[in-house]
Amino acid sequence: MSEFKREDRYIVIKRSDLKKVPVSYRSSLVEPMFSLLSHLPRRECLVIESDWPEYESYWQMIERRMTGQPPVTAAEELEAVQHWRGKHALAVRERDALQQRLNAADQRIDELTAQQAESRMITLSGCEFSEHELLRTAVRMVTGTSRRGTLRWVAMKDAFCCGSGVAHALCRRFGFDPDETVKP
């Protein structure tokens, strides 16, 4: 028996997609298509979109029928269900993990925004700066002392005469990677 090949034999347009066709095209494309239907044989079809979990299993069923193989067994069907159930569970776990990261990032943004709003204003040489602005600029502009570069938190520790915990916290507060290498 010859090798099974999927064929592009039908033109299918989803009704909800027709509603998205601009009005200016409807009279020239959509309406003539409906009049064409009266000249074609009536067919009833089952359409399964490629993003549906059943898509590949139905292709497998059609391929088996066309190549003379026996239909899918209950065991194979169960295996397919378990496969997709596993994929679904993995996707749910990944989604939940991403949601937690997003929530943490939103909370961090809220904290930083609140800190920035609470920052006092300082006037230096007639120019006004917020404490937040000055600290952020210092963290951003800190440079290393070695030709090969210095970790940002080490440069912060040296610049602010503070411990490693405070240096790390300053970097993170202003959105910088403490372990980033800064050049002299």
98-107 tens-digit pLDDT: 999 999 988 8
pLDDT of residue 88: 92
Residues 6+ apart with CB under 8 A from 71: 61, 64, 65
Asked if 30 and 37 touch (Cβ cutoff 8 Å), the reply is: no
Higher pLDDT, 112 or 88: 88
**157: pLDDT strictly greater than 80:** yes
148 located within any domain:
yes
167 located within any domain:
yes
Instruction: For 32-66, write each residue's pLDDT tens digit.
Output: 887 888 888 888 888 999 899 888 888 888 888 88
45 located within any domain:
no
**133: pLDDT strictly greater than 90:** no
For range 111-119, the mean pLDDT: 73
What is the count of structural domains for the chain? Answer: 1
pLDDT of residue 35: 82
60 located within any domain:
no
**27: pLDDT strictly greater than 80:** no
Cα-based distances in Å from 180 to 101, 129, 138, 162, 167: 21, 27, 15, 18, 13
pLDDT of residue 116: 66
96 located within any domain:
no
**1: pLDDT strictly greater than 60:** no
User: Nearest 5°: phi and psi at 69?
Assistant: -85, 160
pLDDT of residue 80: 83
Could you tell me the residue range of the domain that residue 147 belongs to?
A: 121-182
151 located within any domain:
yes
Asked if 179 and 152 touch (Cβ cutoff 8 Å), the reply is: yes
Top mean-pLDDT range of 30-39, 88-97, 100-109, 123-132? 88-97
38 located within any domain:
no
**95: pLDDT strictly greater than 90:** yes
174 located within any domain:
yes
Confidence of residue 180 (pLDDT cuts 50, 70, 90): very high
pLDDT averaged over the chain?
86
For range 88-92, the mean pLDDT: 93
